[in-house]
């Protein structure tokens, strides 16, 4: 039973050693270096190997003698290109390694079986403690031996690859030599072409120098032509500036001429008007002369003195002239006064509109101010309350946050402690189980290891010798590999050099071809430039001739324009003097007319006031022309609305409402108007229908009352917007408009006649 157990353990140990070797036998990987045995252990191993050198009964011979038989063949390894010798050599090496590994395994098995079966300790066997300590070293040596075998196989494969690459490279070098010979021939041809191209380049350089000299001469000619052209251009620019200045001056003179023409037309019109007036005066004179002759005849008939009649005639003529002059002056004064009156009215309307607008804005702003003040006080009170509540809530929030953070920290600490304790508990349980299992395994393995140690120490010396032999053989293979690599590198450098020479020669060939093409292109370009410059020179000559002709024409035009300028200046001086005299006369006349218009306007206003005062005294309401109080509220619509109350109550209610709205009308702070643009920056004040008071009035009282109030507002805004009280005015009640002074005088005359 012990023998079977020892066999199983030995097989397991060998299997553990071989998979480690197989794991390292991967393609393209190097074997891991294994630690060599110490010098103190090696003498013991050598003694063990020398004592057990003889073959044991029932065992196989040690395979170290096979290595001595193969060593001459290993030293005579193939170096040439003979493939069969290399294969035979590799087969022998493989056979040798196979036998050594199998023999090593069998010997280890027998050693273990003998040590286990024998109750007594064999001779030369080391104690169990020493065997247990060195068993790992024996196992490491076996692994190292297998790794060396793998490294040897790898080197053998590399040698085969190098041989193949060497043969292929030799074939490639033969092709390269053929290509090199061809390239030499091509290089000779290219050198000949290069010499020819050099000669052509020299000729082209000579032609180029000739073309450059011609080009410089042409550039000098072009520069001289450009200078002449620039001089002509400056002359033309100066002439153009003079021409533009003369044109602008001519435009100014033409404008003055047009102004003078318009003034002359005005003067001609005035002259025609004066001629018409003279014709009228002549007609009146002829009529008066006829009247005088008739009077003279009557006088002669009546026996009156003709001298007295002549004196009366002269008086009448002078009076007629004075009346005509006064009439014309009055007419002009009236026209000017009407214009000023219209301007003043428009200014007054605009000022009233602006005033009303400002009042409405002030009312609105004051109301907004009071509302905002109340709203701000309420907001301040709310703000104070909210601030106090916010401070209290913030304190509570901070307190709760502190409590929550403390509790969370405690919770996390307790959770972490519980997890740590659980982990420690599980780790301790697993460790206890592992320790129990390991304790059982160690108990069983310790006995086996003690037995195996003695057998393994005997094999250490043998394995070390095999390792040294393999190391020497590997070094030889490495040297051969290095030689092949250097030879391969030299051949590769030669190949690269040939490639670089070929590319350099091709580049030189392309450069020479490009230079030839560039020189040809330059030659054609210089020919085109010569043709273009000759054409440009001819064009500049023609332009110069044209510019000289234009210069002469412009100079003649300038002289002609200067003469016209002198004439126009003299005419302008004469016309300006005449115009100054006319303007002074017109100013004096207009000032006199303005004064007369003011006087007549004042007189008319006084007459209108007197007429209004006379007509106010009348009590009748049936006349078409009578006095109306502008801005006064009509009570009839209020009476119609209050008829529903009945009797005296209706009259009282109507009078109350009428007096209330009269008070609203007199209120200067209430301005229910909106300025609307009429055109030409003119504005007109109209009723603002969106006003609150007017909207309430229309809803409660109706459209008639609304119309009466709006008419009173418009009249008051037109006649007395600042005072806000009713103003008397002559009114044509039939046509619904302001009555003229003539209509008022006629009305007063009729009234006086009736009396």
- List, for residues 456-502, the tens digit of each pLDDT value: 666 666 766 767 777 777 777 777 777 777 777 777 777 777 777 77
* Residue 359 near residue 688, CB atoms below 8 Å: no
Reply yes or no on whether the pLDDT at 77 is more than 70: no
- The dihedral region occupied by 209, where left means phi > 0, alpha psi between -120 and 50, and beta the remainder, is alpha
Lowest mean pLDDT among 135-139, 579-583, 644-648, 684-688: 135-139
Q: Does position 114 have pLDDT exceeding 70, yes or no?
A: no
| Choice among 4-18, 251-265, 422-436, 483-497 with the minimum mean pLDDT | 4-18
Q: What is the pLDDT of residue 627?
A: 87
Q: How high is the pLDDT of residue 317?
A: 66
Residue 149: the pLDDT is: 72
Q: At what angle do helices 703-719 and 692-701 cross, to 10 degrees?
A: 140
Asked if residues 494 and 173 have their Cβ atoms less than 8 Å apart, the reply is yes
Reduced to 3 states (helix: H, G, I; strand: E, B; else coil), residue 722 is coil
* Residue 17 pLDDT level (bands cut at 50, 70, 90): very low
> What's the pLDDT at 298?
59
Percent of the chain with pLDDT over 70: 57
Residue 86 has pLDDT above 80, yes or no: no
267: tokens are 């003067």
Beta carbons of 303 and 320 less than 8 angstroms apart: no
pLDDT score of 663 more than 70: yes
| 140 compared with 510, residue with greater pLDDT | 510
The label of the residue with tokens 């302008």 reads 572
For position 344, what pLDDT does the model report? Answer: 65
Q: What is the pLDDT of residue 76?
A: 40
Q: Best-predicted range by mean pLDDT among 79-83, 267-271, 396-400, 542-546?
A: 542-546
Higher pLDDT, 527 or 586: 586
Sequence-distant (6+) residues with CB within 8 A of 608 are: 730, 741, 744
> What CA–CA distance (Å, rounded) separates 691 from 671?
9
3-state secondary structure of 731: strand
Q: What pLDDT was estimated at residue 170?
A: 67
Say which range, 56-65, 157-166, 480-489, has the weakest mean pLDDT: 56-65
pLDDT of residue 209: 74
Average pLDDT, integer, range 105-128: 51
C-alpha–C-alpha distance, residues 583 and 353, integer Å: 38
Q: Who wins on pLDDT, 146 or 68? A: 146
- With beta carbons less than 8 A apart as the criterion, state whether 64 and 101 touch: no
Q: 54-73 in b/e burial notation, b at 16+ Cβ within 10 A? A: eeeeeeeebbeeebeebeee
User: Is residue 729 over pLDDT 80?
Assistant: yes
**Per-residue pLDDT at 3:** 41
Q: Is the pLDDT of residue 709 over 80?
A: yes
Q: The tokens of 552 are what?
A: 């002469």
Q: Residue 424: which residues within 8 A CB-CB, separation 6 or more?
A: none
Q: What is the pLDDT of residue 358?
A: 66
Q: What is the pLDDT of residues 282-330, one digit of tens each?
A: 666 666 566 656 655 655 555 445 565 556 656 666 766 766 676 666 6
For strands 727-732 and 625-630, give the pairing. Answer: antiparallel
Report the pLDDT value the prediction gives residue 327, as an integer from 0 to 100.
Answer: 64
- Strand order in 727-732's β-sheet? 625-630, 727-732, 737-738
Q: Are residues 465 and 50 in contact, defined by beta-carbon separation less than 8 angstroms? A: no
Residue of 161, 162, 180, 154 whose CA lies nearest to 488: 162
Residues whose CB is less than 8 angstroms from the CB of residue 695 and which lie 6 or more positions away in sequence, other chains included: 689
Tell me the average pLDDT across 696-723: 87
Burial class (CB in 10 A: 0-12, 13-18, 19+), 734: exposed
pLDDT higher than threshold 50 for residue 715: yes
pLDDT, one tens digit per residue, over 363-392 is 776 677 677 667 777 777 777 777 776 677
What is the pLDDT, as a whole number, of residue 567? 84
Mean per-residue pLDDT, 25-49:
41
pLDDT at 37 over 60: no
pLDDT at position 55: 40
Average pLDDT, the chain: 70
pLDDT of residue 78: 42
pLDDT band at 63, cuts 50/70/90? very low
The pLDDT score that the predictor gives to residue 33 is 39
- In sequence order, the β-bridge partners of residue 673 are 687
Which residues, including other chains, have CB under 8 Å from residue 579's CB and lie 6 or more apart? 260, 263
Please determine, for residue 12, whether its predicted confidence score (pLDDT) is greater than 80.
Answer: no
- Give me the long-range contacts of 593-597 (CB less than 8 A, separation at least 24): 593/329, 593/332, 593/333, 593/336, 594/333, 594/336, 594/340, 595/333, 596/329, 596/330, 596/332, 596/333, 597/332, 597/333, 597/334, 597/335, 597/336, 597/337, 597/340
CB 456 within 8 A of CB 134: yes
The reported pLDDT for the residue numbered 24 is 39
CA dist., res. 452 & res. 448, Å (int): 6
Per mean pLDDT, which range of 26-30, 132-136, 727-731 is the poorest?
26-30
* Range picked from 380-394, 539-553, 660-674, 679-693 for highest mean pLDDT: 660-674
Q: What is residue 260's predicted lDDT score, i.e. its pLDDT?
A: 60
**Mean pLDDT, range 156-171, rounded to an integer:** 74
Is the pLDDT at 634 greater than 50? The verdict is yes
Answer for the pair 107, 59: CB distance below 8 angstroms, yes or no: yes
pLDDT band at 216 (very low <50, low <70, confident <90, very high): confident
Instruction: Report the range of poorest mean pLDDT among 33-42, 337-346, 703-712.
Output: 33-42
- Amino acid 31: pLDDT: 40
Higher pLDDT, 610 or 166: 610
Least confident of 65-79, 466-480, 734-748: 65-79
Q: Name the band, by pLDDT with cuts 50, 70 and 90, for residue 135.
A: low
| Per-residue pLDDT band at 263 (split at 50, 70, 90) | low
- Give phi and psi for 671, each to the nearest 5: -135, 85
pTM, to two decimals: 0.28
Is residue 41 within 8 Å of residue 134, measured between CB atoms? yes
Contact 726, 630 (CB under 8 A): yes
């Amino acid at each position: 039973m012990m023998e079977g157990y020892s066999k199983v353990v030995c097989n397991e140990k060998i299997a553990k050693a071989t998979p480690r070797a197989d794991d390292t036998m991967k393609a393209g990987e190097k074997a891991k270096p294994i630690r060599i045995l110490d010098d103190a252990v090696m003498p013991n191993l050598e003694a063990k190997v020398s004592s057990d050198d003889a073959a044991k009964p029932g065992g196989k011979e040690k395979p170290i003698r096979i290595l001595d038989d193969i060593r001459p063949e290993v030293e005579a390894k193939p170096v040439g290109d003979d493939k069969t010798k290399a294969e035979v050599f590799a087969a022998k090496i493989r056979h040798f390694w196979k036998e050594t590994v199998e023999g090593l395994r069998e010997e280890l098995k027998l050693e273990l079986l003998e040590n286990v079966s024998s109750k007594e300790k064999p001779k030369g066997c080391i104690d169990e403690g020493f065997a247990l300590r060195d068993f790992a070293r024996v196992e490491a040596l076996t692994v190292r031996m297998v790794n060396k075998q793998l490294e040897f196989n790898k080197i053998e494969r590399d040698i085969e690859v190098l041989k193949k690459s060497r043969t292929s490279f030799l074939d490639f070098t033969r092709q390269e030599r053929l290509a090199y010979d061809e390239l030499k021939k091509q290089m000779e041809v290219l050198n000949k072409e290069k010499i020819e191209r050099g000669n052509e380049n020299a000729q082209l350089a000579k032609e180029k120098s000739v073309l450059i000299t011609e080009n410089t001469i042409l550039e000098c000619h072009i520069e001289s032509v450009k200078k002449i052209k620039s001089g002509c251009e400056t002359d033309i620019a100066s002439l153009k500036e003079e021409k533009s200045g003369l044109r602008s001056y001519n435009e100014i003179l033409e404008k003055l001429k047009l102004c003078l023409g318009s003034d002359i037309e005005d003067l001609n019109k005035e002259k025609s008007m004066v001629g018409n007036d003279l014709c009228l005066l002549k007609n009146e004179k002829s009529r008066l002369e006829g009247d005088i002759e008739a009077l003279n005849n009557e006088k002669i008939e009546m026996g009156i003195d003709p001298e007295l009649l002549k004196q009366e005639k002269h008086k009448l003529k002078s009076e007629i002239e004075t009346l005509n002059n006064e009439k014309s002056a009055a007419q002009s004064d009236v026209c000017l006064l009407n214009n000023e009156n219209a301007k003043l009215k428009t200014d007054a309307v605009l000022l009233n509109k602006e005033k009303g607008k400002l009042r409405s804005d002030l009312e609105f702003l004051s109301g907004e101010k009071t509302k905002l003040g109340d709203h701000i006080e309420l907001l301040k009170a709310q703000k104070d309350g909210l601030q106090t509540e916010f401070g209290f809530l913030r304190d509570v929030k901070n307190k709760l946050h502190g409590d929550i953070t403390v509790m969370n920290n405690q919770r996390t600490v307790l959770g972490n402690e519980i997890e740590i304790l659980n982990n420690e508990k599980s780790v301790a349980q697993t460790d206890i189980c592992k320790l129990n299992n390991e304790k059982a395994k160690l108990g069983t393995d310790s006995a086996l290891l003690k037995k195996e140690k003695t057998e393994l120490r005997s094999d250490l010396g043998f394995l070390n010798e095999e390792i040294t032999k393999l190391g020497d053989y590997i070094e030889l293979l490495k040297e051969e590999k290095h030689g092949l690599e250097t030879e391969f590198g030299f051949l590769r450098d030669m190949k690269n050099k040939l490639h670089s020479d070929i590319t350099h020669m091709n580049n030189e060939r392309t450069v020479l071809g490009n230079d030839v093409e560039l020189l040809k292109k330059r030659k054609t370009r210089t020919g085109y430039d010569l043709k273009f410059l000759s054409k440009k020179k001819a064009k500049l000559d023609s332009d110069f001739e044209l510019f000289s002709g234009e210069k002469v024409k412009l100079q003649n035009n300038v002289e002609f324009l200067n003469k016209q300028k002198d004439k126009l200046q003299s005419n302008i001086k004469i016309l300006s003097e005449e115009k100054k005299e006319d303007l002074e006369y017109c100013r004096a006349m207009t000032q006199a007319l303005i004064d007369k218009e003011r006087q007549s306007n004042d007189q008319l206003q006084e007459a209108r006031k007197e007429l209004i005062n006379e007509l106010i005294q009348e009590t009748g309401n049936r006349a078409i022309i009578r006095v109306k109080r502008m801005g006064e509220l009509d009570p009839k619509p209020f009476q119609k609305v209050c008829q529903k109350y009945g009797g005296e109550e209706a009259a009282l209610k109507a009078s109350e409402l009428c007096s209330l709205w009269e008070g609203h009308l007199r209120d200067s702070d209430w301005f229910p108007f909106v300025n609307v643009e009429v055109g030409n920056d003119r504005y007109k004040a109209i009723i603002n229908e969106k006003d609150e008071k007017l909207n309430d009035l229309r809803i409660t009282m109706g459209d008639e009352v609304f119309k009466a109030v709006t008419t009173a507002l418009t009249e008051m805004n037109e006649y007395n917007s600042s005072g806000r009280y009713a103003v008397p005015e002559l009114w044509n009640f039939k046509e619904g408009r302001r009555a003229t002074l003539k209509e008022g005088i006629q009305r007063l005359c009729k009234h006086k006649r009736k009396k």
